[in-house]
Structure 1
Amino acid sequence: MGVGGSKAESIQADPVDPAPIHVVTEELPPYNMTRNGVVTGMSTEVVQAVLKEVNVQASIQSMPWARAYDLALHSPNVLIYSITRTGERERLFKWVGTIAESRWYLYSSARHPVSLLSLDDARDWQTATVNEDVGEQYLMARQFQTGHQLQSSNRYEFNYQKLQTGHVDLWISDELNAYYIARQAGDDPARTLVQSLRVPELEDAGGFSMAFSAGTPDATVQRFKKGLDAIRANGTYDAIARKWQ
């Protein structure tokens, strides 16, 4: 269904919440990343389009994921992206909706490929993770331990470097992110990365989302849901997705 003027006007005509919205994200290229001092990326453009649709002014701040996640857990009026909607996180946030698809794998290096038949096979290897991201949370919920099977860092680029230099055996990552980082390093991901095991449970969550902190008014959340629905209906979302994929 197309978006008529009345719907767009109704979104913008809602009373503006007096509390400013704090938008936080991390460096997860090409979804969200800082280039020449400006936060950009596919998910960022979607968030910016929603902000414009609902007529809300808000700056976007990029920081390590663990810090962004902590802010969204404990402060009101915080919008966080790109966040995976899992069962463990369901009640911790107020969810706006999916802003990007994702496919998750445990990767190994083509120099030292690792064959995995199941997740249990990964327990015998060292896996690179990002502190408090969904890949790390997923593995820790299945009794993988940091400092034992998991090596945690605060940047995805570090994990690709660890994998290629042999400091870890595996790396859990979203596919688009992994391939982008490999190309940024001057590598061909088809030649340097091996998809050792797909992690469909992380894909069942529906991809990357926007979510508000639990202390955010429901009216604000509903307003952003309408804004996301609107940019999906009027073609803005599809235009952004085509640009980045």
Structure 2
Amino acid sequence: MKNFILAVFFLFSISAIAQELTLVTAEIPPYSMVENGVQTGVTVDVVKEMARRVGQSDEFQFLPWARAQNKASQNNAYGITPLSRTPHREDKYTWVAPIPEINNDYVLVSLDKNLNINKLEDIIGLSVGVQRGTPAQRLLEKAGFDDIQTVTYEEQNVEKLRKGRIKLWAIPRLVGKYVYKNNGYNPDELIFGYVLSRPIIYFAASKDISDLEIKRWKQALNSMRDDGTFEKIISKY
């Protein structure tokens, strides 16, 4: 009886100190999006299941990406995905759980078959479109591109690329294909070239998250991998 009471007390103690994270993301298909009023996307689906397993709300706040990152880095008890781990971001977040199975290559894309976009030295002077606040923007700046044109939404880059207002588009490979198709075009038209980076996607959180919470979220993801739920989710994309 004594052991039972101690076990119950322990469980209630954990529940009492558990942190409810405010989950934030942005429209970054196919990682995170809203379709017919339903929050979905490969990383959103993964984190929603993680949230259910740790016993908290699985609802996300969808915000412009720069604002979502700012909130998660400056406020308490925030969770964010899909966030690539980069040197610029390293000290701003707690890197809770990597999701390396999801392809996140940042590549340069073109529609011009006459361009050789595999060598950086051949394309460094070309105009390139990028979503504001993404790692791709800093990768372009670090690489030495001068004509970097930023937009709020990737759909804007699709139209700029097709109209010749930019020669290149810096985009994660899966995102590029999805957004291009979603705008009504054939993604087979896209020519993928120079790889800017191959970062790993994470579920990250604000700096104040406790070690207990980190452990609980990690265990949730590991259990999803063990029981096949994780593979079932990513296979849809």
TM-score range, shorter chain: 0.7 to 0.9
Question: How far does the alpha carbon of each residue in 1:44-96 deviate from its partner, in whole angstroms, 9 at most, with x for none?
Answer: 11011101111112420111111001111111111110011122222221112
Residue 151 of structure 1: which of 149, 152, 157 is its match?
149
Give the drift of 1:143: 4.2
Question: Counterpart of 1:5?
Answer: none
Give the drift of 1:17: 4.1
Residue 222 of structure 2: which of 229, 233, 236 is its match?
229
Q: Does the 8 Å CA contact 1:11/1:223 hold for their aligned counterparts?
A: no
Give the drift of 1:18: 5.8
Aligned in 2, Cα 1:25/1:12: closer, same or farther, shift over 3 Å? farther
Question: Counterpart of 1:119?
Answer: 120
Number of residue-to-residue matches in the alignment: 226
Unaligned stretches of 5+ in structure 2?
1-9
Give the drift of 1:166: 0.9
Question: Counterpart of 2:134?
Answer: 133
SS at 1:91 equivalent: coil
Larger radius of gyration, structure 1 or 2? 2
Q: Does the 8 Å CA contact 1:21/1:58 hold for their aligned counterparts?
A: no
The answer on 1:240 being equivalent to 2:233 is yes
CA distance in 2, matches of 1:226, 1:15: 16
Query: Taking structure 2 as the reference length, what is the TM-score of the superposition?
Result: 0.87
Identical amino acids, percent of aligned pairs = 27
Q: Does the 8 Å CA contact 2:19/2:209 hold for their aligned counterparts?
A: no
Superposition map of 1:1-245 within 5 A? 14-15=14-15, 17=17, 19-99=19-99, 100-110=102-112, 113-144=114-145, 148-190=146-188, 192-199=189-196, 202-203=197-198, 205-206=199-200, 208-244=201-237
Aligned in 2, Cα 1:19/1:51: closer, same or farther, shift over 3 Å? closer
CA distance in 2, matches of 1:117, 1:171: 13
Give the drift of 1:103: 2.4
SS at 1:115 equivalent: coil
CA distance in 2, matches of 1:33, 1:43: 10
Tell me: higher relative CO, structure 1 or 2? Use CA pairs within 8 A at least 6 residues apart. Answer: 1
Give the drift of 1:120: 3.9
CA distance in 1, matches of 2:212, 2:67: 26
Query: Taking structure 1 as the reference length, what is the TM-score of the superposition?
Result: 0.84
Give the drift of 1:242: 0.8
CA distance in 2, matches of 1:120, 1:155: 28
SS at 1:129 equivalent: strand
Q: Does the 8 Å CA contact 2:103/2:173 hold for their aligned counterparts?
A: no
Q: Does the 8 Å CA contact 2:129/2:151 hold for their aligned counterparts?
A: yes
SS at 2:129 equivalent: strand
Question: Counterpart of 1:4?
Answer: none
Question: Counterpart of 2:5?
Answer: none
Give the drift of 1:128: 0.7
Q: Does the 8 Å CA contact 2:224/2:230 hold for their aligned counterparts?
A: yes
Unaligned stretches of 5+ in structure 1?
1-9
Give, as a single letter, the amino acid of the residue that structure 1 aligns with 2:182: Q
